[in-house]
Amino acid sequence: MSTESLSSAAPRFARLGSAATPFLFILLGVIYASWAARIPAIRDALQLNPAQLGMVLLGGGFGAVASFPLAAWLVGRFGGRRAAWYSGLALIIVLPALALAPSMTWLVIVAVALGAGSGCFDVAINAIGTEQEKQAGRSTMSLLHAWFSVGAVSGALFGSLMAGIGITPTAHFIITALALLLPLYLAYQALPADQIEHVSSKQYFAIAHGPLVALGIIGFCGAVAEGSIADWSGVFMKDRMGAHDGVAPLAYAGFAALMLAARLVCDRFKDRYGARRVVAVGASFAACGIFIAVAAINIPLTIFGFAMAGAGFASVFPFVFSSAGRHGATALAAVATFSYSGGLIGPPVIGFLAQGWGMQVALGLIGIMAIAIAISASRARWLE
């Protein structure tokens, strides 16, 4: 290749590199929403009651929480770039297996694997994002998480389309996995090589302590809320509102779409008003949205309520992870472990409550969690 060709290819490769990190967030959102969109169909195929579905979701949460020491080790040993490549491949392989599970037991096992893969991938891409934020010298994490919402909206809308035209979850997940494989490889190749600091006494497992506890509590409540809406909003739409399989995923699509819109401006709000105020006001707004949704007046208003909640919760994870990531991969994994314990506990608890008290009461708990986030954020000085 000539010198001229190399020089002309360099800018194109640089542009590809600048798009690599956003794509990784998109990929996680697509997989997350694809699974969420087809939960009602998979539940019906295996004839699971709310408590049994809660056990499946518990498996996913357990896999995520248990994976964080592994995630910290992967990032510390190989760097965020290679950790994202390894765990991203695992996610793409596991996605079709969710639809192929022949029984509840196998679905729980695959859900554990999905949770572990997503936990490792999440820590890896947030480590990459935190490093890029340091290099930029300004708040950029909310914008990166906005790309997750782009993926979530796209995945939810595509899932709604697939369900609406009668495409099975198996075919849907295989198409999605194949479509993501090459872009994942290109993103991995485009990212700059990791600068890994080898420290002999490196600790890859840590419990959140001191200031990290406050961040963990906010993240915990946020994970309960976000995970429960992703896993149960479609079921609520179908069972309580009588929505068609093609309409039910629109509740989560609305949630993710308004979360995306809010994340586009959260960094600017943080710079102007501070993270504590943005998270507290947003969580209060989310609580109002949840209570509108669970009132179950009609389908459009329910979708609107979930969308309000998405806007309100938009700042929680970007600002919590940005604060923790400034202290390194182990601190980030510690806060992520605390936070995603909410993803472990929340969706199954919603299932068990729905079994005994009904879905409206169960989802109403999310509104209470949103109020808890608002109170905690207003007092968490370490969130700034």
Exposed/middle/buried for residue 299 (C-beta within 10 Å: 0-12, 13-18, 19+): middle
What is the helix, strand, coil percentage profile of the chain, to 5? 85, 0, 15
Whether the predicted pLDDT of 305 surpasses 90: yes
Q: Give the contacts of 103 (CB within 8 A, at least 6 positions apart).
A: 46
Separation between Cα atoms, residue 224 and residue 325, nearest integer Å: 21
- Report the pLDDT value the prediction gives residue 1, as an integer from 0 to 100: 42
Separation between Cα atoms, residue 310 and residue 199, nearest integer Å: 40
Looking up tokens 């995923």 gives: 249
Q: Give the contacts of 34 (CB within 8 A, at least 6 positions apart).
A: 95, 155, 158, 159, 172, 173, 176
CA dihedral (81, 327, 19, 37) positive or negative: positive
Confidence class for position 5, pLDDT limits 50, 70, 90: very low
Pick the more confident residue, 291 or 336: 291
Segment 192-221, tens digit of pLDDT: 876 655 544 445 445 555 566 778 788 888
Provide the whole-model pTM: 0.71
- Percent above pLDDT 90 for the chain: 34
Confidence class for position 16, pLDDT limits 50, 70, 90: low
- Report the pLDDT value the prediction gives residue 325, as an integer from 0 to 100: 67
Looking up tokens 């993501």 gives: 180
Whether the predicted pLDDT of 327 surpasses 80: no
Please compute the mean of the pLDDT values over residues 142-169 and round it to a whole number. Answer: 88
- Report the pLDDT value the prediction gives residue 382, as an integer from 0 to 100: 61
Separation between Cα atoms, residue 383 and residue 377, nearest integer Å: 7
CA distances from 183 to 20, 35, 189 (A): 9, 20, 10
Segment 331-372, tens digit of pLDDT: 666 777 777 677 667 777 888 888 888 888 889 989 998 998
Q: Which two tokens stand for residue 256?
A: 């993710």
- Report the pLDDT value the prediction gives residue 30, as an integer from 0 to 100: 94
Contacts 24+ apart (CB under 8 A), 40-47: 40/234, 40/235, 40/238, 40/245, 40/248, 41/163, 41/168, 41/169, 41/245, 42/98, 42/99, 42/101, 42/107, 42/169, 43/235, 45/169, 46/101, 46/103, 46/104, 46/107
Size (the chain), residues: 384
- Percent above pLDDT 70 for the chain: 86
Separation between Cα atoms, residue 20 and residue 135, nearest integer Å: 16
44: number of Cβ within 10 Å: 11
Q: Do residues 43 and 51 touch, judged by C-beta distance below 8 A?
A: no
Separation between Cα atoms, residue 158 and residue 53, nearest integer Å: 23
Confidence class for position 7, pLDDT limits 50, 70, 90: very low
Query: What is the rounded (10 degree) CA torsion for 58, 35, 175, 172?
Result: 110
Segment 91-122, tens digit of pLDDT: 999 999 999 999 999 999 999 999 899 889 98
